Amino acid sequence: MAPMTDSTFTIRRAEDRGHARHGGWLDSRHTFSFANYYDPAHMGFGPLRVINDDRVAPGEGFGRHPHRDMEILSYVVEGSLEHRDSLGTGSVIRPGDVQRMTAGTGVARSEFNGSKSDPVRFLQIWVIPERAGLQPGYEQKHFGDERRGGLRLVASRDGREGSVTIHQDLDLHATVLAPGEAVTHTLAAERQAWVQVVQGSVVLNERPLAEGDGAALRGVPTLELRATTDAEVLVFDMFTPTPEHA
């Protein structure tokens, strides 16, 4: 299915994403090009480089592997994810948690599903930082009922409103909506947005979106989001790059 496009609104349907299965332990959907999935038409959106929807089988996970010069956000949807890294950080990430890791000059990490019976589903989000060579760092905060019925800022450049701090001009909002509930978000003239439906279904500016769908919006002053089922949605509000940085 081809994307539905006009001058300001592009829908990326869930079924059009890249798909990878690894030995039965990992089922991953790639919104943008990643690893062996290459799609020159979907290399990212502004500084947003990766949205992977990963499902990891019980007792399985990603072994220790390196990263550098990337802001990595982990957002758990179901289950729990155990994190370890070369900074000496160890934590368990659960639904409602947002974890930020600044890879900077270099860091190694591992993520495992510690449960012997339950799978874990999480979004792995990569954001290109505003500059290379940052000091590696880590932060994790919980946003539970704060997301219900409204847009909760969970990540931002300045860490305002208790959000985690990322090194890029990008605000990440999360919302959990009951059927019929609606939220609105205003975009400044120089801003653009990516909307990712994590669970359920919604109508965004009169266009239906289902679980796994994403939408790019440029030059749209207001985002109007209404749930048609129980829904969970992420809204990325970011600068609009100049042509030489697009």
Boundaries of every domain in the chain:
4-245
Amino acid at 158: D
Determine phi and psi for 152, rounding to 5 degrees.
-105, 125
Q: How are the residues of the chain apportioned to helix, strand and coil, as percentages rounded to the nearest 5?
A: 5, 55, 40
Share of the chain above pLDDT 70, in %: 95
DSSP codes joined into one string, 76-124 = EEES-EEEEETTS-EEEE-TTEEEEEE-TT-EEEEEE---SS--EEEEE
66: confidence class by pLDDT, cuts 50, 70, 90: confident
Report pLDDT for 164. Answer: 98
Residue 110 has pLDDT above 80, yes or no: yes
Q: What is the mean pLDDT of the chain?
A: 92
- Pick the closest to residue 181 from 195, 197, 199, 202 (CA basis): 202
2: confidence class by pLDDT, cuts 50, 70, 90: very low
Q: Which of 50-64, 150-164, 206-220 has the lowest mean pLDDT?
A: 50-64
Measure the CA–CA gap between 227 and 28, rounded to whole angstroms.
25
Region 192-213: mean pLDDT is 98
Residue 7 has pLDDT above 60, yes or no: no
Share of the chain above pLDDT 90, in %: 80
Determine phi and psi for 3, rounding to 5 degrees.
-60, 150
Report pLDDT for 242. Answer: 56
CATH of region 4-245: 2.60.120.10
Residue 41 has pLDDT above 50, yes or no: yes
Residue 4 has pLDDT above 50, yes or no: no
pTM for the predicted model, two decimal places = 0.93
Residue 3 has pLDDT above 60, yes or no: no
